[in-house]
Amino acid sequence: MKRKIIAAAALLSAALLLSSCGEEAPKVKDSIKISGQTMGTYYAMTIIPGQYGNQADKFKQIAEDEFKVVTNAISSFDPNSEISRFNRWNSTEPLKISKYLGDVIQEVNRQALRIDGVLDISVAPLVNLWGFGTDGRPEKVPTQSQIDEVREYVGFDKYKVSYIGGMAFLEKGDPRVKLDLSTVGEGLGVDRVAAKLDEGMISDYLVSIAGAVRTRGTNPEGKDWKVGIVNPVQPDGQPFEIVCPHGMAMSTSGSYRNYFVDENGKRYSHIIDPRTGKPIEHHTVSVTVIERSALVTDTLDTGLMVMGADAALKWGDEHETAIYTIEIKDGKPVGRHNRYFEPYLKCDAKDAQ
Ligand code: ADP
Ligand code: MG
């Protein structure tokens, strides 16, 4: 589904160990590293299991069961998911859905409306039209009249969630409506795993799916968990910035991996501006948000990406939310952040002083 954040903890802690030569070697706690694939991308976890010991298989199973709950509800690529069933539902009659899916849609929309609806899960037909959805790549760039036609059934008022006696229902105002929740899958996944680990009294962990991360406590060396923001110019190279989320959720939206190039060499992002029906065109290539839940950050990051760096940083100031942006200026990546992000650029109490 999206880009990779590098969990740079191991790499950085090795460097710190070297630099502390001569001092007493710090105690390193036993930890378990688990990785795998989900949602068309990669996940990684580092857990300090404490009393549970090295039960890597058990933790892997817990995580993958949680990811399955998410994909069963929202995967556009699984024909048996609830959202795929709804997207095929060629009717304006309400369709019964899980309470989980109903609640996710409600929360995503609550966050989306905070950013003026530039994150809009009903953009699915536009995403498909531009070739980033389940229908594969387009032959050519859609015409304005094709875009206008599709926009007739895109918008917050084109579908509705309702609850009756503890049951949830989803209905379309037009049978052609389709929903796309893929941008929040990673956030939902890491939130669920974090909740499970919290329930099991695991107090030190880092869980990431692509660009969505949850951390708690400290790393095996007893230091803050460190997470890298991918360099948009060299996604597989060194991180562009190192961040310490201090127990908060963090996610990054990046438009540098998934795009298509037309016959004239013009690049089209997979992020659609619902106000125009077209892919975003500005030079902002990465937006990182830190907040309490990864569902919130994963909803906001894509929306703030639509808005672009200036508006995203301003929005963060007005809403006391930590934002970090990367723009391409003269071919080079340039990072900016607002003051609410500053505490997260300081790692370990020592550096923070
Ligand atoms: P990124 O790393 O760029 O955030 P994601 O996979 O999280 O990538 O989100 C991008 C996906 O979200 C697109 O492929 C598309 O399916 C969907 N999408 C694109 N534009 C919007 C939008 N304005 N609102 C909601 N979803 C969108
Ligand atoms: Mg997102």
State the sign of the Cα–Cα–Cα–Cα dihedral 81, 178, 93, 165.
positive
Q: What is the pLDDT along the chain (353 residues), one digit of tens a residue?
A: 444 444 433 333 333 333 444 556 668 999 999 999 999 999 999 999 988 888 999 999 999 999 999 999 999 999 999 999 999 999 999 999 999 999 999 999 999 999 999 999 999 999 999 988 777 676 678 999 999 999 999 999 999 999 999 999 999 999 999 999 999 999 999 999 999 999 999 999 999 999 999 999 999 999 999 999 999 999 889 999 999 999 999 999 986 666 777 777 777 888 999 999 999 988 899 999 999 999 999 999 999 999 999 999 999 999 999 999 999 999 899 999 999 999 999 998 755 44
Atom number in ligand 1 closest to CA 3 = 2
What distance in angstroms lies between residue 304's CA and the mean position of ligand 2's atoms? Answer: 9
- Which residues have C-beta under 5 Å from ligand 2, the single-atom ion? 183, 253, 298, 301-302
253 lines ligand 1 (CB under 6 A): yes
What distance in angstroms lies between residue 119's CA and the mean position of ligand 1's atoms? Answer: 8
Closest residue (by CA) to atom 17 of ligand 1?
A: 183
Q: Looking at the CA of 270, which ligand is closest? A: 1
- Given this model, what pLDDT does residue 121 score? 98
Whose CA is closest to 247, among 276, 210, 219, 283? 219
- Tell me whether residue 298 is annotated as binding: yes
Q: Looking at the CA of 255, which ligand is closest? A: 1
What distance in angstroms lies between residue 172's CA and the mean position of ligand 1's atoms? Answer: 21
DSSP code per residue over 120-188: -GGGHHHHHHTT-STT---SSPPPHHHHHHHHTT-SGGGEEEEEETTEEEEEESSTT-----GGGHHHH
Tell me the backbone φ, ψ of residue 287, rounded to 5 degrees.
-130, 125
150 lines ligand 1 (CB under 6 A): no
What distance in angstroms lies between residue 301's CA and the mean position of ligand 2's atoms? Answer: 5
- Tell me whether residue 198 is annotated as binding: no
Pairing of strands 284-291, 249-254: antiparallel
- Given this model, what pLDDT does residue 71 score? 98
